């Protein structure tokens, strides 16, 4: 896998992160402040953050797996399989994080307070997991393809 191929594949999580950031900014106008980010097993809110923290948190957390795995995939020591698997993991984790954060915010839209909201729907967390697996698998397959030789000119 060439360095330019790695950079092209890193556009996928960049697009997801930007989309997640923009969606969280748009949703922020309909969310209570502070917004709930953690619930107990009984469904009670156990942790809240100011609404302006959510877009920053999404970008910071979603960027971590991509930066770490991107650096590994770009290193000269990464083998073809290692680089592809690491990159697939990082991009899949990014997709999971972005969808999960939106799934956490969605039930709180229009709520008067964070305490009145329910936690994220299990359905959307499963969707986030499946999307992460699919995107990660596609990236892994694409990244592990042998490099095609350059066309020869006559």
Task: Give yes or no for residue 97 having a pLDDT over 60.
Answer: yes
Residues in the chain: 154
Distance CA 112, CA 123 (A): 24
Which pLDDT belongs to residue 36? 87
Chain Cα centroid distance, residue 68:
14
Distance CA 15, CA 57 (A): 16
Least confident of 30-44, 45-59, 87-101, 113-127: 113-127
Residue 154 lies in a domain: no
Which pLDDT belongs to residue 71? 78
Which pLDDT belongs to residue 25? 92
Residue 81 lies in a domain: yes
> What confidence tens digit (pLDDT) does each residue in 47-72 have?
889 989 989 988 888 888 888 877 77
Which residues form the domain of 128?
3-144
Report the mean per-residue pLDDT for the chain.
Answer: 82
Residue 150 lies in a domain: no
122-149 mean pLDDT: 84
Q: How many domains does the chain have?
A: 1
Distance CA 88, CA 133 (A): 9
Alpha-carbon distances, residue 86 vs 38, 71, 99, 132 (angstroms): 29, 10, 20, 14
How sure is the predictor about 154, in pLDDT bands with cuts at 50, 70 and 90? low
Which pLDDT belongs to residue 152? 66
Residue 125 lies in a domain: yes
Residue 149 lies in a domain: no
pTM: 0.73
Residue 26 lies in a domain: yes
Q: Is 110 left (phi over 0), alpha (psi -120 to 50) or beta?
A: left
Residue 135 lies in a domain: yes
Distance CA 133, CA 93 (A): 9
Higher pLDDT, 62 or 83: 62
Residue 151 lies in a domain: no
Which pLDDT belongs to residue 22? 93
């Amino acid at each position: 896998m060439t360095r330019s191929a790695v950079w092209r594949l890193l556009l996928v999580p960049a697009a997801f992160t930007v989309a997640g950031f923009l969606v969280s900014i748009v949703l922020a106008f309909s969310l209570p402040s502070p917004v709930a980010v953690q619930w107990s097993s009984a469904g009670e809110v156990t942790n809240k953050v100011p609404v302006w923290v959510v877009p920053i948190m999404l970008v910071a957390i979603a960027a971590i797996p991509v930066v770490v795995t991107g650096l590994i995939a770009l290193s000269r020591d990464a083998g073809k399989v290692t680089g592809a698997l690491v990159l697939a993991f990082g991009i899949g984790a990014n997709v999971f994080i972005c969808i999960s954060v939106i799934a956490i915010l969605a039930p709180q839209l229009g709520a008067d307070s964070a305490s009145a909201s329910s936690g994220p729907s299990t359905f959307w967390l499963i969707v986030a997991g499946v999307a992460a697996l699919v995107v990660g698998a596609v990236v892994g397959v694409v990244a592990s393809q042998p490099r095609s030789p350059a066309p020869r000119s006559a």
